[in-house]
Amino acid sequence: MILYWLGMFGIAAFAITGVISSGKRDMDLFSLVVLGMVTSLGGGTIRDVILSVETVYWVKDTSYLWVAAASSVFAFFAVRFIENRQTIFHYADSFGLALFTVVATENVLRLGFSATIAVTMGVITGIAGGIIRDLLSNRAPLVLGREFYATPALLGALFIVLLNDVFPSHPYNAIYATTLIVVLRLFAIHKGLYYPSWLLYKKRAATTEELPHEPRK
Amino acid sequence: MILYWLGMFGIAAFAITGVISSGKRDMDLFSLVVLGMVTSLGGGTIRDVILSVETVYWVKDTSYLWVAAASSVFAFFAVRFIENRQTIFHYADSFGLALFTVVATENVLRLGFSATIAVTMGVITGIAGGIIRDLLSNRAPLVLGREFYATPALLGALFIVLLNDVFPSHPYNAIYATTLIVVLRLFAIHKGLYYPSWLLYKKRAATTEELPHEPRK
Amino acid sequence: MILYWLGMFGIAAFAITGVISSGKRDMDLFSLVVLGMVTSLGGGTIRDVILSVETVYWVKDTSYLWVAAASSVFAFFAVRFIENRQTIFHYADSFGLALFTVVATENVLRLGFSATIAVTMGVITGIAGGIIRDLLSNRAPLVLGREFYATPALLGALFIVLLNDVFPSHPYNAIYATTLIVVLRLFAIHKGLYYPSWLLYKKRAATTEELPHEPRK
């Protein structure tokens, strides 16, 4: 039951990031609602399709659909009164990432898959919606940024697997793991949490510009 | 039977938009055929996968595959003789959007899903192919533009649900709804049909450029 | 058995291209591993989902997951010592394209699908992973470039269908077809293999810049 509500909160959070991220001057209400819904329902849809579940979650229970639509409408009107949209965007994105990763990992475990598959699907579900949003709104995917993004999702997914092992189906496990991801992600945003230098990608002379293919205009 | 032929016309229309949109100087025939096929078959594939149908439509009936391929080849050679490709592009896109939305909505209704799911899948099928095309050819997704795009699809999907309620399985229902979408979309293109101002997204001082993350180059 | 190992090599090759293509200064290890895995597992996932197989290949046999992860980690550390990354990128991409196309075509044939579906799915599997990679790393999709890319995949897929007809399940069929694709692709890269001019797309005065819609910034 807690999982159900956490999932709904995740849907709402991601819908809001979709509207803020894709919003451009003079776009209309319904287009933005569509984009908010794609962002918030996309990750879980990919998870369900890959796991070949019988019915995708929002086809089975249309409340998810309505929560995504209502949150998008709310975000559409609310952003007018918000001064610092990017802060809201990053906070909502952190919550969405955390909630989706944890809920997906625990659900996949309950379906009887191995811990490897559960963690993989948890991370995929957490980051896929944001990647779709960033592609559609022509923003560099957050996961490709310099701060911690995929790593908090991985640590949170591993943490919930561990918690479920030690305290089987304790009702608050999901809340502990969600908190871990959100805290790590907020640290990354505000303190610029990085990896040690030897775990960072280094460029040499050769760059993408030197490709024999024309660069994207 | 009418639905079947309307679906085929939709495939052909979207294949043509795929070729026009992705076509760059000196691209070869087969690459463009692949892109035309992805554009035209993509939306329906996503629909079938989300609804967990037993066999995706073009795997079951390969005529769809051949129509998509033949239309792409036709478009490849025909564009040489066309002066105003963008007009053709927008007309074909409007027809494709209308046909896919209506055919998908009616098919999903017939599979026994609720009106909510039918309308949702209709809109998704209508706009998904175009989104894939626009991402691949690095064009701003039409659905993110300022004119009516997703809204005509929504209205058309709602209209066919209504028609099927009032005149159950009347053979021309699909044609009426298709016409509605095409007319709304052509009005949007030529007259710049907008929403009233309070239903449009407003930017404030904060813009995406002020993100703490590097912008996409 | 040969198919299994060729598939694993394809996973490794594509994982390496994903890391090289998406790598930007200071990106962390795990983000790049995620991108390498998406690149290498993406194409086959799309194939399995479209064919409605019971369990997606890497969910059934997690060795694929581990090979993708290990190759990405290897590529992450190895690129530091490589002078000409773009050459490695194009070579690995050619091998990945060839191996995925051939393995997918033969596997789909064995599942009992027609040659049309087998060739289509072979080409889709071969190019889809690369398209996802190129979209995520904001690189113009290789398939949209001027040299032969989709065509070698098509010819290789047709060749393996032919070979399986003439020499049913000969163990080296897959190796011959893979070699054909790699050779064609390397010719394309080094010699700029083109189609004859009348099979190339010609631009007229009207260009995408004249669209009534704002261009992507």
* pLDDT digits 0-9 by tens, C125-177: 999 988 988 888 877 788 877 778 888 999 999 999 999 888 887 778 888 99
Confidence at A209, pLDDT banded by 50, 70, 90: very low
For residue B200, being part of any structural domain is answered with no
Q: Is C82 on the interface with A (CB under 8 A)?
A: yes
Residues 37-76 of B with CB under 8 A from A: 49-52
Query: Residue C142's pLDDT is what?
Result: 81
CA-based nearest residue to B142, from A138, A20, C214, C210: C214
Give the CA distances from residue C10 to residues A164, C7, C55, C126, C147, in Å, rounded to whole numbers and listed in that order. 36, 5, 20, 10, 21
Query: What 3 state SS string does chain C have?
Result: CHHHHHHHHHHHHHHHHHHHHHCCCCCEHHHHHHHHHHHHHHHHHHHHHHCCCCCCHHHHCCHHHHHHHHHHHHHHHHHHHCCCHHHHHHHHHHHHHHHHHHHHHHHHHHCCCCHHHHHHHHHHHHHHHHHHHHHHCCCCCHHHCCCCCHHHHHHHHHHHHHHHHHCCCCCCHHHHHHHHHHHHHHHHHHHCCCCCHHHECCCCCCCHHHCCCCCCC
Does residue C210 register a pLDDT over 60?
no
More confident residue, B192 or A188: A188
Q: Tell if the CB–CB gap between C29 and A113 is shorter than 8 Å.
A: no
Local structure of B200: helix, strand or coil:
strand
pLDDT tens column, C9-45: 899 999 989 888 877 766 788 888 988 999 999 999 9
Contact state of A24 with B214 under an 8 Å Cβ cutoff: no
Contact: B144, A135; criterion CB under 8 Å: no
Å from C27 to nearest chain A CA?
5
Asked if residue B205 is part of any domain, the answer here is: no
Nearest 5°: phi and psi at A125? -60, -40
Q: How far is C72 from chain B (nearest CA, A)?
A: 24
Find the DSSP H helices in chain B. 2-22, 29-50, 57-60, 63-78, 85-110, 115-136, 150-166, 173-191
Give A53's contacts in chain B (Cβ within 8 Å): 52
This model of the complex carries an ipTM of 0.83
**Of A76-80, A184-188, A190-194, C81-85, which gets the smallest average pLDDT?**
A190-194
The count of structural domains within chain C is 1
* pLDDT at B201 (0 to 100): 74
For residue B88, tell me if it sits in a domain.
yes
Whether residue C140 lies within 8 A of chain B, CB to CB, comes out as yes
Q: Is residue B189 part of a domain?
A: yes
C-beta of residue C139 within 8 angstroms of C-beta of residue C21:
yes
A130-144 confidence digits (pLDDT tens): 898 888 887 778 887
* Cβ atoms within 10 Å of B199's Cβ, excluding its own: 14
pLDDT at C149: 85
Q: Is residue B217 part of a domain?
A: no
pLDDT band at B2 (very low <50, low <70, confident <90, very high): confident
| A68-87 average pLDDT score | 86
Q: State residue C203's pLDDT score.
A: 60
Q: What is the pLDDT of residue B79?
A: 82
pLDDT for the residue numbered B203: 60
Say how far apart CA B113 and CA A58 lie, in whole Å. Answer: 12
Q: Do B31 and C216 touch (CB under 8 A)?
A: no
Residue A214 lies in a domain: no
pLDDT value at C216 more than 50: no
Domain that holds residue B59: 2-194
Whether the CB-CB separation of C133 and C38 falls below 8 Å is answered with yes
**Which of the two residues, A167 and A126, has the higher pLDDT score?**
A126
* Res B46 pLDDT > 60: yes
Q: What is the pLDDT of residue C136?
A: 86
- Among A103-117, A180-194, B96-110, the minimum mean pLDDT is found in A180-194
Compute the count of residue pairs across chains A and B with CB atoms less than 8 Å apart. 107
The residues, ordered by sequence, that sit 6+ positions from B95 with a Cβ below 8 Å of its Cβ are B9, B10, B13, B182
pLDDT digits (tens, 9 = 90+) for B21-34: 877 766 788 888 98
Per CB-CB distance under 8 Å, the chain B contacts of A138 are 140, 216
Q: Report the alpha-carbon distance of residue A48 to residue A62 in Å, rounded.
A: 15
Q: Is B130 left (phi over 0), alpha (psi -120 to 50) or beta?
A: alpha
B60 domain residue, yes or no: yes
pLDDT at B51 over 80: yes
Distance CA C122, CA C140 (A): 22
* C31:A123 CB<8 A: no
**Is pLDDT larger for residue A178 or for residue C81?**
A178
pLDDT higher than 50, residue C212: no
Residue A85 binned pLDDT confidence (cut-offs 50, 70, 90): confident
| pLDDT given for residue C25 in this prediction | 64
pLDDT digits (tens, 9 = 90+) for B146-190: 778 888 999 999 999 999 888 887 778 888 999 999 999 888 888
Is residue B210 predicted with pLDDT exceeding 60?
Answer: no
pLDDT at residue B25, rounded to an integer: 64
What number is the average pLDDT over the span C99-114? 92
Q: Using an 8 Å Cβ cutoff, are C54 and C107 in contact?
A: no
Would you say residue C115 has pLDDT above 80?
yes
3-state helix, strand, coil in chain A (%, to 5): 75, 0, 25
**What does the mean pLDDT of chain B come to?**
84
Residue C25: closest C-alpha in chain B? B214
Fill in the amino acid letter for C32: L
Q: Is residue B136 part of a domain?
A: yes
Q: What pLDDT does B171 receive? A: 77
For chain C, give the mean pLDDT: 84
C-beta separation of C143 from C149 below 8 A: yes
